[in-house]
A = this chain, B = another copy of it.
């Protein structure tokens, strides 16, 4: 039964049907901004926001994000991309243009802890997360009813050490071909390199510690034992190195000796929710570029 009615707050995607976002990484050099902005101007686009960053002025990498409006974007986009190719080649660019009105499609993976899932569903339903939640995948059956009450399909795919490979295969089939990003909302299984390869820089995990402190299991118990005065959470892209991928966002909260492990977990749940939701928001708004093992976040 669908009892959660999505708010009809105006979505950016709806408000600006002709908005595009362009992400570019390339070796730094003179003339890049001029070439890009001249190109957009000549094609009738109006730049509404632009951010750039040079990792090191002398021979480093250059990153740029441009938001622009272009009338009839849908029909003109293919031609625009075609025309841009020569500029891209000239500056050896990695680049991508996203149509903002085409909402990103999310798959959320979850295990038994539900707070991150609940937050994402709530933000989505409140109109604060401008994306489509296509499906939820879980290795447990517990949250089916809750997820389905939002009108979102729930796929229970059990995972055991023996069936892990098979389970991942089923997960990939279930997800299909049109998912843009996978959110591990406290999904407690390690993802295999093969799976990661399919979704390079498109799997976002929330780790319940201020990485790189307390890598691995039971980070709140580790934090309690070390007597830290601040705890945190970290959203990062998943790579082959456990808890070692590019950090997207972190946040913290002050704690004291009075807070036992259960209280740290309780406080941590709110930090985790907020940090993961921010990382997802920035990803779906095409604000993140990854270079080596670091992110450039234009927020």
A residues contacting B by CB (< 8 A) are 1, 3-4, 16, 29-38, 40-42, 44-54, 56-57, 69, 114-115, 118, 122, 126, 128, 145-146, 149, 210-214, 226-230, 232, 246-252, 254, 256-258, 260, 266, 269-270, 274, 293-297
Contacts and interface: CB of A to CB of B under 8 A. Distances in A.
Contacts of A1: 1, 3
Nearest to A247: B227
Contacts of A40: 34
A212 B54 CA distance: 31
Nearest to A114: B126
19 contacts: A1-B1, A16-B57, A30-B41, A32-B47, A36-B37, A37-B37, A48-B57, A49-B52, A51-B52, A53-B258, A114-B126, A149-B149, A226-B247, A227-B246, A227-B247, A227-B295, A230-B251, A256-B297, A257-B296
Given A53-B257, A228-B247, A230-B252, A41 B48 contact: no
A44 B30 CA distance: 8
Given A38-B38, A146-B3, A251-B230, A294 B257 contact: yes
Given A1-B1, A53-B257, 16 more contacts: A29-B46, A30-B44, A30-B45, A32-B47, A33-B47, A34-B37, A46-B57, A51-B51, A57-B69, A126-B269, A211-B213, A211-B226, A227-B294, A229-B248, A230-B252, A257-B294
Contacts of A54: 48-49
Contact of A37 (B33, B118, B122, B256): B33
A49 B45 CA distance: 22
User: How many copies of this chain are found per oligomer?
Assistant: 4
A44 B293 CA distance: 33
A12 to B, nearest CB: 9
Contacts of A53: 49, 257-258
A249 B229 contact: yes
Contacts of A260: 56
Contact of A128 (B44, B145, B266, B295): B266
Nearest to A250: B229
Contacts of A38: 34, 37-38
A47 B30 CA distance: 7
A227 to B, nearest CB: 4
A247 B212 CA distance: 18
A162 B68 CA distance: 50
Contacts of A3: 1, 3, 145-146, 149
B228 A211 contact: yes
B48 A50 contact: no
